[in-house]
A and B are shown apart, each in its own frame.
Chain A
Amino acid sequence: MEEEIEIKDETASDTSLPRVRQPRPAWQESVLFVLSFTLLTSFWLVGRVRDLKAVGNIDFTPWLWFFVPFIPLAQIIGLPRFFDELKRREDGSTTRQWKSYTWAWIAVLVVTNIIVLTEDSLNLPEWVLEASLIIICGLFALLHIRFNNWKHKLEKVEFYGKASGYYWYEWLVVVLGSIVFIAYIYFYVLAPLFIDKIQDLEDRQVIENSDLGFGLTIAGDGWVEVEAGTHSSDETELELSGPTLGSFFIVFDQGLSNSLNGVASGRATLRNDFSGSPVCKENRYLSNNEKSVISYTECNGSWLDEKVTTYSTIIISNDRTVELYGYLMDSKHKHARQSENMRTIAKSFSPL
């Protein structure tokens, strides 16, 4: 005899009251917005649309709202309706209204979203992006408070879930986002604080090393001479940190026995800096004093989603082979801007 299985229909509960998500603490939501780099706002908005839809019948399709937090046009079209529906329900529940602040909220969200989407191509400072993300988190935290207020005043609704409960996919976003966030904080905030800076370098500043007989000229702002070992575990002669985290130069003394061909072929066939196969091109030209040949190799490829370029300028000076190795990893637009300066620096590397 088979065991009888009871099938419980949660939607068709015994009361048939509208089901609304249990309000969650605003601080907790805010932290998760930040940790997930605002990605959680998409899930949050889908949930809140479901809440609105549960309380009053509206023709919103909740999953479509997933895209609204990062599409400004969708924000302009969708959010006024969203706020209208929210307002209508708030009126019914006598919740305190935002009145004209609603439009300010939408406007700030649209602007900050545009900034986030275009900061790469607008060459805005890094802090503008960071501030925009914080503002977006803040906007959604405010909205969350408003929703919480509304929910607290709701009657004849059934709250489901725990106040601290999240779906598995929300946790996935949060956990992954947290890893990225921690890495971001480490590389962009903490690591620069611990770099052993030797000196700030100015645009067109000349650096010379008479022992190894080389010189180079800085191009662009934000370059810093740092202690050997900052960007390499090898013994190096000079290390420079660039204006962006993924840009640096290292000078290697390749010694007496390494030939130009030996070093150049080794560098061009090295694939460690790329996730795929880079395209490398080597050119050779005479130094300004016409007493030595300079090998210049540029390899272009990618590392995950970022564009990567390596620069290798090799000279023979004082009978030694000396190499300036440069590395640049950045998003496409920032890479394009930075690479020109790095190429200029790499090509300025020459014997004294």
Chain B
Amino acid sequence: MRLNQRLLKWKAWFAFGAILFFSQSFANEVKIDWLEKSASRTYTFAEEFIAADDLPSEKTTLLHDIEIIFDAGEVTRTVRQVNYFPTYNDAHTAGNESIYWDKEVEALTVREARVLKLNGQAHRLNPDNIRVLDSDAYNTFTDQKEVVLPYSGLTDKSISILEYQIKFSIADLESSWSTIIYPVLFDPVKNFRLRVIEDEQTPLTYSSNNKDIIDCKVNDNELECESADLSPNKSDVDIIWRDVLPQIFIGETQTWDDVIANDLKAFEESNNKDDSVQKMLDRIIDDGMTQRQKIEAIHKFVSRDIRYVSMSELGHRITPHTSASVLENRFGDCKDKSAMLHGMLSLIGVDAKPVLVATKRSSLANTRFPSTGYFDHMVICFDSEKQFYCLDPTDSNTDINSISSWIQGMVSLTLEEGAKPLRIPLAPHKWRLNVSSSLEFDENANVVERQERIYHGEYASGIRSSYGPKNDEERNEAATESFHKVVSSLVDPTFEFVGLQEMANTAIIRSEAKYTPFLDPREALNYVENDSWLNRELDDVEISSKHYDARVHGIDVQSTINFDFNKLWNVTWYPPNLNLKGKYGEMTRFVTTTGKHKIQVETRVKITTQMVKQGEIESFNEFLKLLKGESALNFVGETP
């Protein structure tokens, strides 16, 4: 007994020392301030759960509790999270917890991080194992870190218990405060609770996009939302999750004009029309250029001659660095590059506007409450000579006629008084491709196939981005691999690439392949040739999503194939003309005989950018299947 007591005391001193040591070690990182068991509501909740009989059979969030308290401009956010892992698979795949933390303005304190087994055994997290990682640094207006908590002792039939607090001061923020809470993600949630208490200094606005599953009540200065037994969101692909997840927005009460004014003020800090910018501009353009050529030259300079480096440190969350410093460093983030682009365009007389973009949101309904918080990117948009441009200075592959593929359709806010969120325009046919092929049989039925693929606009940009950075050998390997996948693995063609380095509207890939005979000229002809590249585009546009509406980005593919059967066969039947026009798109084909043994097949597929309702996805994919079936070109003939 004494020994045990001594041992316990020794253990307690050791634990205290360790906590002290790690607390010191993480003094500038993650603060650990373990709660006493009895003081931890989270721990008590977990213990109560173990005592219950009906344990879930799938990974379940037993408690998701968020408390945000405003007090004299200071904000304390307490999060309590209890998860149940019924199987070893769940423990393996989701055994780490992450906390997103802006360490320059926020103080993070972990108050409980423990694993509790069903038999009562408990393992507290070893603070030594905490890792602080850079979160996605590309396109962000924060310098958030990901704090990874690898639980010790987590196996099947375990419960993880986490409670942490984040404290910050409203005054330290560059823009007004807002947050979006996702009550339910991809596991069932047994208990959800959100409590927000505002103070007089910071009046808040809240909104829930799914009142059916979340019940929120406002009493005086307090918002309380509760829900139980929430079903998980259905997993799906090609989905912008922030558009479809249930979410509760809470933010400081303001108007869009307030947001715009604040962001514009920050944007103007870049001083983007100063002498250094003018001097650089004078080197980029000359008087002999048309206005359009000047725009092209400026865009090319900003996107290619200024490297992208994420630079959203404190003071520059939404405020660009000065253009002079960006020119000096020749690097910057999207704000810095946008400010430079904006400044140069202004100096040539273009009335350009900075535009905030939410690259992970396309739903205007879910961004109706004014906040900068939705946005993580900036581009420059303007009209010039009756044409609308939206230039992304971080995109060094897309020519000025096209809007960068990845921001099309995303929610944007033009920083201009009176503006409201809008979507960045979507190209009606984002993927435009012309394929010209010829297949020539010689007298021994050897075949020479020549192809020219001309990619346009956004598609040219994609090709440039894939093939441009590669050396000749790598480029040929990649093109051969693609050819093998799409056309045929029987041959290794030779390739020629045009327009991979220029920011032009087109990128061209030419190929030539020689096939040994695959048809016997002594036998009647029954030959099927797939319109391969067209078929591949149809494959790409197929919707994989099942549970949610899906956006289809339009395709416009024109394919011309010239067949020369070189007197080997008299072709008696060849592909028919097509006029397949439906609500989702169209496929047309004209077949002409260009000589006694020569046939030209011209096919065009146009599917316009559209939103396909969840209930119509199957019909849409069936429509594509029909078109794919018709992309096989069948020839029947007789020997002469």
Contacts and interface: CB of A to CB of B under 8 A. Distances in A.
Interface of A: 260-261, 264-265, 268-269, 281-286, 290-293, 295, 297
Contact of B576 (A286, A291, A292, A295): A295
A282 B576 CA distance: 5
Interface stretch (B233-241, B426-434, B452-460, B628-636): B628-636
Contacts of B573: 264-265, 268-269
B219 interface: no
Given A269-B636, A293-B629, A282 B577 contact: yes
A303 B634 CA distance: 30
Contact of B581 (A268, A269, A286): A286
Contacts of A260: 629
B626 interface: yes
Contact of B626 (A264, A265, A269, A292): A292
A65 B619 CA distance: 73
A269 B572 contact: yes
Nearest to A268: B573
A293 B626 contact: yes
A293 B619 CA distance: 14
B55 interface: no
A283 B636 contact: no
B580 A283 contact: no
Contacts of B584: 290
Given A283-B578, A283-B579, 15 more contacts: A261-B632, A268-B572, A269-B636, A281-B577, A284-B576, A284-B580, A285-B578, A285-B580, A286-B580, A290-B582, A290-B583, A290-B584, A291-B622, A291-B623, A293-B630
Nearest to B633: A261
Nearest to A269: B572
B596 to A, nearest CB: 15
Contacts of A269: 572-573, 636
Contacts of B626: 286, 291-293
11 contacts: A261-B632, A264-B576, A265-B634, A265-B636, A283-B577, A284-B578, A284-B630, A285-B581, A286-B580, A286-B581, A290-B584
Contacts of B629: 260, 293
Contacts of A281: 577
Interface residues of B, number: 20
A291 B619 contact: yes
A286 B585 CA distance: 11
A291 B582 CA distance: 9
A284 B572 contact: no
A286 B581 CA distance: 7
Interface in B602-638: 619, 622-623, 626, 629-630, 632, 634, 636
Interface of B: 572-573, 576-584, 619, 622-623, 626, 629-630, 632, 634, 636
Sorted nearest first, the 4 A-B pairs with minimum C-beta distance are A282-B576, A290-B582, A265-B573, A261-B634
A319 to B, nearest CB: 13
A346 to B, nearest CB: 15
Nearest to B629: A293
A285 B581 CA distance: 7
Nearest to A295: B576
Given A268-B573, A291-B622, A284 B583 contact: no
Contacts of A264: 573, 576
Contacts, number: 50
A282 B579 CA distance: 11
Contacts of B576: 264, 282-284, 295, 297
A295 B623 CA distance: 16
Nearest to B528: A261
A216 B410 CA distance: 47
Contacts of A292: 626
A269 B525 CA distance: 13
A284 B634 contact: no
Contacts of A290: 582-584, 619, 623
A308 B636 CA distance: 24
A314 to B, nearest CB: 11
A290 B619 CA distance: 9
A281 B591 CA distance: 11
Contacts of B630: 284, 293
Contacts of B581: 285-286
A298 to B, nearest CB: 11
B606 to A, nearest CB: 14
A281 B577 CA distance: 9
A265 B635 CA distance: 9
Contacts of B580: 284-286, 293
A260 B629 CA distance: 10
Nearest to A283: B577
Contacts of A293: 580, 626, 629-630
Contacts of B634: 261, 265
Most buried by B among A281, A284, A291: A284
A62 to B, nearest CB: 54
Contacts of A286: 580-582, 626
Nearest to A291: B622
B605 to A, nearest CB: 13
A292 B627 CA distance: 10
Nearest to B583: A290
A283 B630 CA distance: 12
Contacts of B577: 281-284
Nearest to B581: A286
Contacts of A297: 576
B220 to A, nearest CB: 57
Contacts of B636: 265, 269
Nearest to B586: A286
Contacts of B619: 290-291
Nearest to B582: A290
Nearest to B636: A265
Given A268-B573, A293-B629, A293-B630, A284 B622 contact: no
Contacts of B582: 286, 290
A268 B577 CA distance: 14
Contacts of A283: 576-579
Contacts of A284: 576-580, 630
A151 B475 CA distance: 106
A210 B633 CA distance: 32
Contacts of A295: 576
A97 B582 CA distance: 78
Contacts of B572: 268-269
A272 B579 CA distance: 29
B579 A285 contact: yes
A260 B623 CA distance: 16
A286 B587 CA distance: 10
Contacts of B579: 283-285
A240 B292 CA distance: 67
Most buried by B among A260, A261, A295, A297: A261
A292 B583 CA distance: 13
Nearest to A294: B580
A284 B629 CA distance: 12
A292 B580 CA distance: 10
A265 B573 CA distance: 6
A145 B29 CA distance: 131
A282 B583 CA distance: 23
A290 B578 CA distance: 14
Contacts of B632: 261
